[in-house]
Every structure is written in structure tokens, then in C-alpha cells.
Structure 1
Amino acid sequence: MNGSHPGGSRRFGRLRRPRRLVADAAALLIAAAVAFPLYWMVLSAFKPEGEIRSTEPRPWTLEPSLDAFRRVLGQQDFGRYFLNSLVVAAVVVLASALIAFLAATAVTRFRFRFRTTLLIMFLVAQMVPVEALTIPLFFLLRDVGRTVPGIGLNTLGSLILPHLAFSLPFAIWMLRGFVRAVPESLEEAAYLDGASRARFLWQILFPLVFPGLVATSVFSFISTWNDFLFAKSFIVSATENSTLPMALLVFFKPDENDWGGIMAASTVMTIPVLVFFVLVQRRLVSGLGGAVKD
């Protein structure tokens, strides 16, 4: 005999329904608050100049215009800046994913001296503000660039290396949970079947932790793509190596800012992030789920 009572289940369902409605309403309000700045940015990019400077702003426009986008895309170095940002972000994402995967496997599967100390150092590295390290990194890159060409100031390497260094601690900590979730019995079975360590690493372990790699890659891509501080600090004179956020400075003028151009450039900058997120969203959800389970 089933111990549950149909009437009690119905009453419980009626009690849950108002709570569910309140939770859904709160989620919608939060989503609207988060999405409103993005909506206003895109709206301002399509507004004509007169509406942008109007003293009575409206959350719509009846005369959308592409003039701001024409000014942005017609900028002389905009395409080069876009390509530089793409190269820097791609290198950081791929390199951080590869290094973090190998490092997370090492600190999870192997026992060695100072292993715990190394993990604590990864955690401490995340606590240091980026702004506090910008000036020391500037002098470090200046001195290293004198002996090692390609990674000194005014090069794309001066942007890749710092972002790689800041992305790795988070990626390693996150991937540890995915590597640890793979049972050691699976590794032992692979060795009994004649698989080498390299084959197990790339053909068995790598596909299993791939959702975690996607989740960390999103963090690396967004932080690198949107970076302005390093691009402003480390690209001093070689403007041909500037990245896309630097293109916004063209529209900030001493007498009168071009807000339409600023919003249009910001919209163009946001598109690759949205495209990247859409491409990896399924893997991202499973990756974040795995991280929470750990």
C-alpha cells in the first residue's frame, strides 16, 4: 500500500505553486536588470546623433541609423585591432586549456613534494588584484624584451603571457575536480589493456574532462577579449599591435565624445563573445555542473 495521500500531494503542489511564481518573477526581474545595459548599448548604437544627445532619452527609436557602425567599421585600423584581439584571445584560450589540463592531471594523479604548497600558491595568485601587478609586469616585460624578442613591450606577446598567467590558476583549480572525478580503476583498466600513459591521457581522460576545459575557456576568452588595462599599459608606441578595446579611445574626444561610435564599437566587440558562448553553451552547462558536483 502506498503511504502517500493524493490529497496531501495536491495540497503540497498548491503550496509550491506560489513559491514557484515568486521565484520565476524574481528571476525575470534579475535577468531584465542584467540585460538592460546591454539593450541600451545596442539601442544607442542604432540611434541617430540627435536622439543620443537629447535631454529626454527614450528606450526606443523610430529612426534607426547605421551611421555609427559605418564610422566604426570605416576606422582605418579597426580590422587590424580586431585581428590582434582574435589572435591574443585564441592563443590564450588554447594554451591555457592545454597547460591547465596537464597541470591538473599532474597535481591530481601524482603525489610529489610541495604538491599542497603549489596548490595553495595557485589559490593565492587568484587573490592578487590585477591592478597591483600591472606596474611590476610593465618593468618585467621591458627588461625581458631586451633579451627575448617577441614578448617585450609593444608586442602581442606582452598581452598573451600576462593573460595566460592569470588564467591558469583558475583553470587548474577548476579542472582538478574533473580529473579527480574520473575513477582510477578506469586508468588501471586502460593500462591492463595495453594503453600507454600518453594514450590514456589524450584518448580517454581528455574527452572526459573536455566540458571542464570549455568552462575554463569561456573565462579565459572573456577576460582576454575585454582587456583594456594590459593593452593600454604594455602597448606603448606600436599602435599596430593594439587590440580592439583600444579602438574605443578614438571616439573619446576632448571637446565632445562620439557616444554613437562608442556604443557601436562596444556592440561589435560584444558579438564575438556571444558567438563563442553560443558555440560552447552545451558543453559549458555540463562543465559547470561537473564543477558544482565536485
Structure 2
Amino acid sequence: MHKTRGQRVGLAVLGIAATVFFFFPTYWMITTALKTPAQILSPDYDLIPLSVTFDNFASAFGKDGFTSFLTNSLIVTLGSVAVALAAGLLAAVPLARMRFRGRKGFVLLVLIAQLAPLEALFVPLYLIMRDANLLDKLPSLLLVYVAFTLPFTVWTLRGFVKGIPVELEEAAMVDGCGRWGVFRRVTLPLLGPGLVATSVFSFVTAWNEFLFALVFIRDKGNQTLPVWLSSFRTAFGTDWGGIMAASVIYAVPALVFFMFVQRKLVSGATAGAVKG
């Protein structure tokens, strides 16, 4: 059914209003980072800063341990994304394409693991890391983040694999491709949107995690950026300009990662590939 001009205008206005509503906190964060302390604490809050300063960004970049925290965050985040994608892909393909005893039960366990609250796993994970002598070490965070994101990765990639027509793989095998060749030349390229969706979820989950990073890592040399953000609040008060500037800096890697992979987010990659 074709929409009238009034309906299209109404939907456009609604979309613009929703965009402004969700973007406003980010805009507030950026403008606050560009203000002086006097402007930030002023009761007359200006939506558009009358003057701009980059002192807050200089203070954030100069904060003790920034480079170390950034490196640690990148290591555990990118490492957990890579491990979760590799393990999830190796589990998703057999679950979607093969029939074996216990398959449905395993899929159910994956779903249950995804639904389990993180708070319920906090104490057991801490005890496991303590007994394995992994506390105060980055591998402990990497393993925890993989455990958090792997069920979602397996479940999502399984759905994407099932969405790829089996006829494409059978045609490749008729043309002489083996099972590995079919996976590398047919299945894997068509899984691009699924891999991107799960990688974005894994990246954001690991990048923003604070509680486990705070408790499992007490050594400042191994702490991550979410813990670094908390250092702007002390017993003497909160450096609002500094913490807003640090939050802007903190958001940049996630934005860059998404911009790098978003071109793969194309739906309907196999539409029309098979007739009938």
C-alpha cells in the first residue's frame, strides 16, 4: 500500500525526533568535554558552547596510565572477538548442517548459557580464575569475555548458516570442491553479515565491561579503559570536563571498529542465487 504525502512527512518527522532524542546524550558529552570548568558548573547550561577549549582532552590524554590501559583494552577486546568468532564458527556450521546425537540438547544448552545472568556467574568465575592463578592477568578477562559472547555468537551464526541455501554448497561439491573448499569459497563469504553482527556484539561487550575488569585485575599495569574512566572521580570531587573528554576518547575505537566492518552488513546476500 502506497503511503500518502502526509504519512511520509509524519514518518520523517518521527524519525528525526527519535534521532535527536537518542543522539542528545552523545551531543551533551561532546559539548561538555569542550567547556571550561566554570561553564560546566554554571547553572545556565548552554546547548551550544560560547567558547571552546581542548584542555579537557589534553588532561585526559595526559592522565597517568592512559596508553597502558588503552593497549590492555585493545588486547582483551580484539582477542576475545577473534576467539569467539573462530570458536563460534566452528560450532555453528556443524550445528546447522550436520545431524548427530545430542544436537538439539547442545543447542538448548547454548541458549540457556546465553540467558544466564552475569551476576550469577561472578563468584564461580572468580574462584576459577583464582585457582588457575589468572587473577591480575589479562588472559583472565579474555576468557571471561569469550565465555560471555560465545553463546550469542554460536546461536547467531547458526541462524545465518541455516539461511544459506544448501543447493549452493551442493553445486560447489558437484563442481569438484571438497567440504573445506565449499566452506572457504561458498559458506564463509556469505556469512559476512553474520560475522559482522557477532563481532560488533563481542567488541562492544568486551570494550564496555567494567565490573569484572575492576575485580579481576587489581594491578594498575593490567587494567583496562573502563577502570581508567573511574579514576576521574576522587574523594575531592569529579572532574566532569575530564571524564567527558575521556568518554569521547573511549568511544572512538568502538566507532572506528564499526565503521570498518559496517560495509559487510548487507542483508539478502543470497537473494536470487537459487531459482525455485
TM-score, normalising length from structure 1? 0.87
RMSD: 1.6
Detail structure 1 runs of 4+ shifted over 3 Å in the superposition. Answer: none
Q: Give the CA deviation at 1:24.
A: 1.5
Identity among equivalent positions (%) equals 41
Q: How does 1:227-266 map to 2 (within 5 A)?
A: 227-236=209-218, 238-266=219-247
User: Which residue type is aligned with residue 177 of structure 2?
Assistant: A
Match of 1:86 in 2: 74
- Which amino acid counterpart does residue 57 of structure 1 have in structure 2? Y
Name the SS of the counterpart of 1:153 in structure 2.
Answer: coil
CA distance in 2, matches of 1:233, 1:21: 51
How big is each residue's C-alpha offset from its partner over 1:167-186, in whole Å with a ceiling of 9 and x where there is no partner?
11111111112211222232
1:35-50 map, 5 Å: 35-50=23-38
- Alpha-carbon separation, structure 1, partners of 2:258 and 2:143: 23
Equivalent-residue separation in structure 2 for 1:19 and 1:65 (angstroms):
44
Question: 1:1-294 to 2 correspondence within 5 Å?
Answer: 16-145=4-133, 152-236=134-218, 238-284=219-265, 286=266
Residue 73 (structure 1) shift: 0.6
* Amino acid corresponding to residue 110 of structure 2 in structure 1: F
* AA matched with 1:175: L
Superimposed CA distance per residue, residues 76-132 of structure 1 (whole angstroms, 9 cap, x where no aligned partner): 210110011111111111111111111110101111111111111111112122122
Mapped partners of 1:164, 1:211: distance in 2: 20
In 1: Cα distance, 2:17 partner to 2:238 partner: 32
In 1, Cα distance between equivalents of 2:167 and 2:21: 48
- My pick for the range that moved more, 273-282 or 189-198, is 189-198
Long gaps (5+) in structure 1? 1-11, 146-151
Would you say how many aligned residue pairs link Structure 1 and Structure 2? 269
Which protein has the larger Cα radius of gyration, Structure 1 or Structure 2? 1
Give the distance between the partners of 1:136 and 1:55, measured in 2 at CA: 47
Between the aligned partners of 1:281 and 1:186, the Cα distance in structure 2 is 25
Q: Which residue of 1 aligns with 2:273?
A: none
Which residue does the alignment assign to 1:149?
Answer: none
TM-score by length of 2: 0.93
Q: In the alignment, residue 238 of structure 2 is paired with which amino acid?
A: N
3-state SS, counterpart of residue 259 of structure 2: helix
Q: Distance in 2 between matches of 1:134 and 1:38?
A: 31
Secondary structure, aligned partner of 2:234: coil
What one-letter code is carried by the residue in structure 2 that aligns with 1:144? A
Mapped contact 1:92–1:164 kept (Cα < 8 A) = yes
Distance 2:127 2:113 in 1: 19
**What is the one-letter code of the residue matched to 1:220?**
S
Q: Is the 8 A contact 1:175 1:213 kept in 2?
A: yes
Structure 1 CA distance for aligned equivalents of residues 230 and 258 of structure 2: 26
Question: Do 1:235 and 1:241's aligned partners in 2 also have CA atoms closer than 8 Å?
Answer: yes
- Counterpart CA distance in 1 for 2:4 and 2:27 is 33
**Of 179-188 and 203-212, the range deviating more from structure 2:** 179-188
